[in-house]
Amino acid sequence: MQIHERLLAEVSAERRRLSRRGMLSGSLKLAGGAAIALSLSNVPALRTPVAAQDFASDLDVLNYALTLEHLEYAFYRDGVGLFDFGTDGFGQSINDNLAAVRDHEGAHVTTLTDTITQLGGAPVAEQVYNFTDAYASVDGFIATAAALENTGVSAYDGAAQFITDPGLLTAAGSIVAVEARHASYLNLILNEVPFPASFETPLTMAEVLEIAGPFFA
């Protein structure tokens, strides 16, 4: 697949499901224009040791995770509050729950940053992101959130094998478990099965960076 197509496939699937069920109003457009034109070679954040073929150390794995957590946190931090999402099927405020997801992602960023620093590493910094089209509609926001969370779970599962410190593996497991809860909730909002399979599909680092690439401005 091309550099942008994996995430587009994720979001397009969400859009088709939204169209079938009429769950949300508006139209979904993601990663259009300049965002589609991005490539890994043009994204500074991805031209780092984290983007190498293999992880050289636990610090590389942690910085890889931090890169994704920065992306997710920025998405919610700057996007929650743009819309009134109403209530979910349980009568709870979707806005409040998305704010909680935002806070979780912020806590993940802080914890990973502190851990990398304590281990003598240099934490990767937050980059500049392009969420313009994802912020254009309710549909775009929810579908993008679902795609990011589901992809994040697969990313952690794919990278776990490279962690050599059992303590760090346990910590990563505690993060991915929460990411999976986020994904399940967003799937539920989209009227999808919150736990669609018996096993998660791990993604390689290259596959995840292809998915995330269009959001880096």
**Virtual torsion, Cα 80, 82, 87, 89, nearest 10 deg:** -70
- pLDDT tens by residue, 124-144: 999 999 999 899 999 999 999
Phi, psi (deg, nearest 5) at residue 81 = 105, -15
- How many Å apart are CA 17 and CA 106, to the nearest integer? 29
Phi, psi (deg, nearest 5) at residue 129 = -120, 155
Q: What is the CATH number of the domain that holds 15?
A: 1.20.1260.10
How much is the pLDDT for 50? 40
In the block, which residue shows the tokens 């550099």?
A: 3
Looking at the chain, the number of H-run helices and the number of E-run strands are 7, 0
∠ CA 10-154-134, nearest 5°, is 35
How many residues does this entry show for the chain?
217
* 36, pLDDT greater than 60: no
Query: What domain range is 53 assigned to?
Result: 5-215
Mean pLDDT of the chain: 80
* 205, pLDDT greater than 90: no
- How many Å apart are CA 28 and CA 145, to the nearest integer? 13
User: In angstroms, how far is CA 55 from the centroid of its own chain?
Assistant: 20
Average pLDDT over residues 6-27: 44
Average pLDDT over residues 36-49: 32
Query: Considering only CA atoms, which of 82, 77, 150 is closest in space to residue 109?
Result: 77
Query: Considering only CA atoms, which of 101, 78, 77, 79 is closest in space to residue 88?
Result: 101
Which residue blocks in 119-159 are alpha helix, DSSP H? 138-159
- How many Å apart are CA 59 and CA 116, to the nearest integer? 6
> Number of folded domains in the chain?
1
Split at pLDDT 50, 70, 90, the class of 104 is very high
